[in-house]
Amino acid sequence: MDFTGNLKKIIAGQDLDEESSASMLMDIFSGEISEARIGAFMAALATKGETFEEIAGAAKAMRRKAIRIQTLSKKVIDIVGTGGDASGSFNISTTTSFVVAGAGVTVAKHGNRSISSQCGSADVLEELGLNLNTDPEIVEEAINEIGIGFMFAPLYHGSMKYAGKARQECGIRSIFNMLGPLTNPAAASCQLLGVYAPELTEMFAKALKLLGVSKAFVVHGHDGMDEITTTALTRVSALHEGAIHSFDLNPLDFFEDFADPKDLKGGGREENAAITKAVLKGEKGPRRDIVLLNAGVALVAADMADSIKTGIAIAEESIDTGKALEKLEQLVRFTQENG
């Protein structure tokens, strides 16, 4: 069925299969579809409600069009959020990525500048000295040699430009907001993925399964964060060997008290970069705790730890031995010298 036929199905409230969703996105990414029809597609799909098959199909199309990164390690993790949680927290996923890399896991971080927050992963990394505009070959080398690299999304997903104007003019949250965490150019085999709504955890876990991810934790904090939070319980959908299991994770199983949300707040680029550096340098407190908890779960996803408690202990060692900070410094130096 062609684009218009599939669009009519969505408008009629019918779900698409994975193949039809992929076909519609391939048409959009080829530049053949007008902005009006892209806008209609976004609005109709958002009104109907996206299914995990539609999301997986769209992600597969976007992956096909992306510049790919080849990694030497079979076990590669991405720690990423959808954004859109309006929490105003510091860059937890980005900070966590260096802790996990310091523990010996290969990290292929995929991200962008801020869309809905004050400071996205690309913004804070640039402030920390990273050269974002490095060729994919250099990023590939960083991932394989240092054990961590950052893929600046616009450089890998050029075909997204065809949806750019419609997205900007419509100004609605759409399927395109969901695709970033599912379209890692290094095809990360495991993920810690934060989503902006609790009903999305299981849906994203099912989409990751269709995309061939072996192990993942999809999370949403009950305080609204697209991270594992320490201020409340976190909804978790765990994907492992094809099975999906959902549960609530309680930070009180690992720490004495719930954190105060104000202690996790960030700000602009400079403030968030300073917070990331402070945590990696060993500063104690609620910021360290939330990074340790997220890193602990990420290390379970990467099979580096058999429990979250063990993962937290490994994450503490990564920070306290200076290995986490060293990964940041190595990556900054590498991108500056080879950019």
Q: What is the pLDDT of residues 147-176, one digit of tens each?
A: 999 999 999 999 999 998 888 888 788 899
Q: Under a CB-based contact definition with an 8 Å cutoff, are residues 62 and 68 in contact?
A: no
76-81, strands of its sheet edge to edge: 148-152, 106-111, 76-81, 190-194, 215-221, 234-240, 243-249
What are the domain boundaries of the chain?
A: 3-65, 76-338
User: Does residue 120 register a pLDDT over 60?
Assistant: yes
Residue 303 has pLDDT above 70, yes or no: yes
- The CATH classification of domain 76-338, taken from the options 3.40.50.720, 2.40.50.140, 3.40.1030.10, 3.20.20.70: 3.40.1030.10
- Angle at CA 294, nearest 5°, toward 293 and 298? 120
pLDDT at 324: 99
Rounded to two decimals, what is the model's pTM? 0.95
Contacts of 313 (CB under 8 A, 6+ apart): none
Kindly indicate the confidence band of residue 84, based on its pLDDT and cuts at 50, 70 and 90: low
Give the Cα separation of 318 and 322 in Å (integer): 7
- The angle, 0 to 180 degrees and rounded to 10, between the axes of the packed helices 161-170 and 18-29 is 100
Strands in the chain per DSSP E? 76-81, 106-111, 148-152, 190-194, 215-221, 234-240, 243-249
Report pLDDT for 117.
63
Beta pairing partners, 235: 220, 248
How, if at all, do strands 243-249 and 76-81 pair?
unpaired
Residue 304 contacts residue 104 (beta carbons within 8 Å):
yes
**Separation CA 171–CA 165 (nearest Å):** 10
Residue 115 binned pLDDT confidence (cut-offs 50, 70, 90)? low
pLDDT exceeding 90 applies to what percent of the chain? 89
Q: Return the half-sphere exposure (C-beta side, CA atoms, 13 A cut-off) of residue 68.
A: 9
pLDDT for position 85: 63
Q: Crossing angle for the helix pair 18-29 and 3-11, nearest 10 degrees?
A: 120
CATH topology of domain 3-65: 1.20.970
Instruction: Check whether 116 has a pLDDT greater than 60.
Output: no
DSSP state of 108: E
pLDDT greater than 60 at residue 65: yes
What is the end-to-end Cα distance of the chain in Å, rounded?
A: 44
Three-state SS for 255?
coil
Say if CB 130 and CB 231 are below 8 A apart.
no
pLDDT digits 0-9 by tens, 240-296: 999 999 999 999 999 999 999 999 999 999 999 999 999 999 999 999 999 999 999
% residues pLDDT > 70 (the chain): 98
Packing angle of the helix pair 136-145, 323-338 (nearest 10 deg) = 150
What is the rounded distance in angstroms from the CA atom of residue 316 to the CA atom of residue 291? 10
Cβ–Cβ under 8 Å, residues 308 and 254: yes
Pairing of strands 106-111, 148-152: parallel
Rounded distance between C-alpha atoms, residue 208 and residue 199, angstroms: 15
pLDDT at 177: 84
Average pLDDT of span 321-328? 99
Q: Residue 234: helix, strand or coil by DSSP?
A: strand
pLDDT in tens, 205-252: 999 999 999 999 999 999 999 999 999 999 999 999 999 999 999 999
DSSP result, 37-55: HHHHHHHHHHHH---HHHH
